[in-house]
Amino acid sequence: MFDKVISPCRSRRLHRYFRNGKLTLLCLILTVIMFRAYLGAGRFGTPEKDLNEIRQTFAYLRRRAEPRRILESVSTASQFHSRVYRYADFDAARIFNDGDGGGVGELKRNESEPYRLGARISDWDNERLRWLRRNPKFPNFVGRRKPRVLLVTGSSPKPCENPVGDHYLLKSLKNKVDYCRLHGLEMFYNMALLDAEMSGFWAKLPLIRKLLVSHPEVELLWWMDSDAMFTDMAFELPWERYKNHNLILHGWDHKVYGEKHWVGLNTGSFLLRNCQWSLDLLDVWAPMGPVGKAREEAGEVLTRELKDRPVFEADDQSAMVYILATQREKWKDKVYLENAFYLHGYWGILVDRYEEMIDSYHPGLGDQRWPLVTHFVGCKPCGEFGDYSVERCLKQMNRAYNFGDNQILQMYGFGHKTLASRRVVRIRNDSGKPLEVEDEFGLLHPPFKSVKLNSY
């Protein structure tokens, strides 16, 4: 009807009027809200609610074109504050910029400021000692010369892009649960990104620091990647060997200190003592990690300074080589580069030999004859499917899992039909005398399971 009555010129003017009118109306609404907010609570509602409404309105106007995620982060953070944690102090203003893929809503750090893992702790050894004395029920040694060990691992909180990736993560976790149960280790599986800046392989640093300072009773923290699997269930770490060291990694002295080779050591499986030295090392390690300029520029330094390193952003492993090689006087005497057994075992040289190992050796050796850990470096079971090497990875991870699982199943008289098969078969007849079965590798009631997690 309007179209018939109103001329084109006039219709354009009317449109302009309406558009301006909408804007005017919006400003009016905002003004009213702001008035209410500053008038305070009472007949008009709470200031907090109003301030939230203002934030949301401005957020909407400002970010209308931005991904939905940001908008959600502002409004749901408010909900979170008011609903989930009434019992904790919480600064809602800190939920400012969640960012894409970021785990934590934090005020964006000024990139010129140095990155910090947390508030400075400088007297940890004494504080920890005092705590241990006050808490004798949580000793840091749980057996004759056996430290309390916390095995820490984890994976992304997101489902894997590769449909079978989570299945491998599940098996990998079961594998670690089995080893820890046999060896009296505690375990922490992390699925939370504690610091959005420290994403990917760097995510372990904030986690490790947090666990160390929250659990003074833990003597050694054993970090292990999710793509590393235990393949020797009978091998107990030689704890005494490390009593004077604070960082134990698989690697070679000459490769790290001599060649500065980028894979001279491996940070996919390492032990870190709970002490000030370790907190200091973490503080020195972390600054190459924050995503963005820091990580990229550090990557260039590492490629330039380390032997054979490809071009890519800084990773925690290369950073560690660099730190040890360039600050050896500070760290070297407390670092043990272990290569007598496979604290980390590169899968490429191990997985095709499993049958030969079964033929010739037995669990408990931990080394190239029967590796403690088979680590699938370079495999991405959680990533996109389709690459031939992903198929090889998955097939070999399955074999490695079964190789380790056979050592668990044999305790109960079973074993996988083949290293490729998920099916299990009996390997001995069922007698009516379960306590007289031969416990071939002594895994049912092993001496290294003798721990007292707390004393009386």
Secondary structure tally for the chain: helices H, strands E? 14, 12
Name the nearest CA neighbour of 358 among 313, 306, 404, 303.
404
Among 15-23, 25-33, 212-220, 319-327, which window interacts with a copy of itself (CB under 8 A)? 212-220
Among 11-19, 45-53, 69-77, 265-273, which window interacts with a copy of itself (CB under 8 A)? 69-77
Q: Which of 140, 155, 266, 407 binds a copy of itself (CB under 8 A)?
A: 155
Residue pair 450/184 in contact (Cβ under 8 Å)? The answer is yes
What is the rounded distance in angstroms from the CA atom of residue 172 to the CA atom of residue 382? 12
What is the rounded distance in angstroms from the CA atom of residue 228 to the CA atom of residue 411? 23
Write the CB contacts of 171 (distance below 8 Å, at least 6 apart in sequence).
397, 401
Residue pair 75/168 in contact (Cβ under 8 Å)? The answer is no
Residue-wise burial string across 73-88, b where 16 or more C-beta atoms lie within 10 A, e elsewhere:
bbeebbeebeeeeeee
Q: CB-wise, 161 or 308, nearer to a copy of itself?
A: 161
* 37 touching a copy of itself, by CB under 8 A: no
Residue-wise burial string across 290-313, b where 16 or more C-beta atoms lie within 10 A, e elsewhere:
bbeebbeebbeebbeebeebeeeb
Backbone angles phi, psi at 115, to 5 degrees: -75, 140
H/E segment holding residue 400: helix 388-409
Compute how many residues bind a copy of itself; rule: CB under 8 A: 112
The least distance separating a copy of itself from the CB of residue 75, rounded to whole angstroms, comes to 10
Q: Residue for token digits 């305070």?
A: 40
The least distance separating a copy of itself from the CB of residue 249, rounded to whole angstroms, comes to 25
Residue pair 408/183 in contact (Cβ under 8 Å)? The answer is no
Q: CB-wise, 194 or 323, nearer to a copy of itself?
A: 194
Q: CB-wise, 313 or 405, nearer to a copy of itself?
A: 405
Q: Which of 21, 40, 114, 157 binds a copy of itself (CB under 8 A)?
A: 157
382-421: contacts with a copy of itself (CB under 8 A)? 405-406, 409-421
Token pair in block for residue 3: 């179209």
Q: Which of 51, 194, 275, 284 binds a copy of itself (CB under 8 A)?
A: 194
Q: Name the CA radius of gyration of the chain, rounded.
A: 29
The least distance separating a copy of itself from the CB of residue 414, rounded to whole angstroms, comes to 6
265-324: contacts with a copy of itself (CB under 8 A)? none
Name the nearest CA neighbour of 262 among 203, 332, 324, 331.
324
What is the rounded distance in angstroms from the CA atom of residue 87 to the CA atom of residue 94? 18
How many other CB atoms are there within 10 angstroms of residue 56's CB atom?
14
82-101: contacts with a copy of itself (CB under 8 A)? 83-91, 94-95, 98
Q: CB-wise, 162 or 318, nearer to a copy of itself?
A: 162
The least distance separating a copy of itself from the CB of residue 205, rounded to whole angstroms, comes to 14
Among 26-34, 266-274, 337-345, 352-360, which window interacts with a copy of itself (CB under 8 A)? 352-360
The least distance separating a copy of itself from the CB of residue 260, rounded to whole angstroms, comes to 34
Q: Which of 109, 210, 334, 380 binds a copy of itself (CB under 8 A)?
A: 210
The least distance separating a copy of itself from the CB of residue 355, rounded to whole angstroms, comes to 5
Q: Which of 148, 205, 216, 390 binds a copy of itself (CB under 8 A)?
A: 216
Among 19-27, 185-193, 301-309, 364-372, which window interacts with a copy of itself (CB under 8 A)? 185-193
100-139: contacts with a copy of itself (CB under 8 A)? 102-106, 118-121, 127-128, 131, 135, 137-138
Helix extents (H) in 225-361: 253, 276-285, 293-305, 316-326, 328-331, 354-360
What is the rounded distance in angstroms from the CA atom of residue 404 to the CA atom of residue 402? 5
Q: Which of 109, 362, 369, 392 binds a copy of itself (CB under 8 A)?
A: 362
The least distance separating a copy of itself from the CB of residue 174, rounded to whole angstroms, comes to 4
Site string for a copy of itself, 415-454 (x = CB under 8 A): xxxxxxxxxxxxxxxxxx-xx-x--x---xx-x-xxxxxx
